[in-house]
């Protein structure tokens, strides 16, 4: 069963990695087998949420943004029955829909903590939605501010917090309420069988990550920022970000951490078995 940590203990682990000169690597997982082997590979933090569950079912991660499940209930079940029983030492966080109007957030966070999670992550997040749909959410009582409020409450519950943000303003607002780890999200991952076909360039990615780093670290020098998604689909792309974003502290893998390896590994293994004569 996964060891449960206080918020300060998780933060100390991450700070120690950075002090030792190592880049942080966190992973969003949708299956127990992924959780088991990203831990063995040295991941610093594990999160679970519906987007990961859908992608590991062979579907688009973006299905997690459709009204086809109780997002928070799915996270709790996935954590309780598949992830927390498998992970041993790495802190595990619950991806929560902060804008869920059917939940009492105080009770939900109590439940998260009682199951053994060490922290939370805001996924699915309103930060990934823009245009008229985002405006409709913001104007009708389902704003991004609900996620900020959830994080602020989680800090008081001694749960470690890390927050998905797409803009410098969102990131700074999260840091203002005590979130120590900002995830600079660059959109749904490209590549593989069900990834985005279009994405911003790596140069634009670095520009946006640097903008978020500048805004957050100017106000909160102790905060950490990691990149995620979009065109950062492999080691080569990540190295480019590392080389061009000196204030960035790490990377969060999603599809790149679990879907791509399965797609490639299972196909190639099948082809090798089929080639036996």
The full DSSP string for 214-275 is HHHHHH-TT-EEEEESTT--SHHHHHHHHHH-TT--EEEESIIIIIHHHHHHHHHHHHHHHT
pLDDT number for residue 241: 97
User: What DSSP element (H or E) covers 87?
Assistant: none
pLDDT number for residue 195: 79
pLDDT number for residue 238: 97
Residue 1 within any structural domain of the chain: no
Ranges under pLDDT 70 in the chain: none
Q: What is the 3-state secondary structure (H, E, C) of 17-32?
A: HHHCCCCEEEEEECCH
Residue 29 within any structural domain of the chain: yes
pTM of the complete model: 0.95
Please name every residue paired with 251 in a beta bridge, in sequence order, or none if there are none: 25, 227
pLDDT number for residue 12: 98
Residue 233 within any structural domain of the chain: yes
Domain hosting 216: range is 7-274
CATH classification of the domain holding 133: 3.20.20.70
pLDDT number for residue 192: 83
Q: What is the pLDDT of residues 88-122, one digit of tens each?
A: 999 999 999 999 999 999 999 999 999 999 999 99
Q: How far apart are CA 27 and CA 256, in angstroms?
A: 9
Q: Specify the number of domains making up the chain.
A: 1
Residue 216 within any structural domain of the chain: yes
Q: What is the DSSP letter of 190?
A: B
Task: With CA atoms as reference, report the closest residue to 125 among 105, 153, 150, 104.
Answer: 150
Q: How far apart are CA 43 and CA 40, in angstroms?
A: 8
Residue 2 within any structural domain of the chain: no
Residue 81 within any structural domain of the chain: yes
């Amino acid at each position: 069963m996964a060891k449960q940590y206080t918020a300060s203990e998780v933060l100390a682990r991450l700070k120690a990695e950075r002090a030792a000169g190592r880049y942080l690597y966190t992973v969003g997982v949708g299956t127990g087998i992924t959780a088991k082997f990203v831990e063995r590979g040295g991941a610093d933090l594990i999160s679970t949420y519906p987007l990961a569950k859908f992608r590991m079912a062979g579907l688009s991660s973006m299905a997690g943004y459709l009204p086809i499940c109780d997002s928070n209930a799915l996270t709790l079940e996935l954590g309780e029955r598949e992830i927390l029983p498998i992970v041993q030492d790495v802190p595990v966080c619950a991806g929560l829909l902060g804008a869920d109007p059917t939940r009492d957030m105080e009770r939900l966070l109590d439940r998260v903590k009682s199951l053994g999670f060490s922290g939370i992550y805001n996924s699915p997040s309103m930060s990934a939605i823009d245009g008229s749909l985002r405006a409709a959410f913001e104007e009708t009582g389902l704003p991004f501010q609900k996620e900020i409020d959830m994080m602020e409450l989680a800090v008081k519950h001694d749960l470690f917090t890390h927050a998905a943000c797409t803009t410098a303003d969102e990131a700074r607002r999260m840091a203002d309420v005590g979130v120590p780890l900002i995830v600079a999200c660059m959109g749904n991952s490209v590549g593989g069988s069900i990834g985005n076909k279009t994405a911003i360039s790596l140069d634009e990615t670095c520009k946006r990550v640097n903008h978020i780093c500048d805004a957050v670290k100017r106000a909160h020098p102790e905060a950490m920022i990691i990149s995620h998604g979009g065109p950062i689909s492999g080691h080569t792309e990540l190295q480019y970000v590392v080389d061009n974003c000196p204030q960035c502290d790490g990377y969060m893998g999603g599809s790149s951490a679990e879907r791509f390896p399965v797609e490639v590994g299972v196909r190639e293994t099948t082809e090798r078995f089929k080639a036996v004569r």
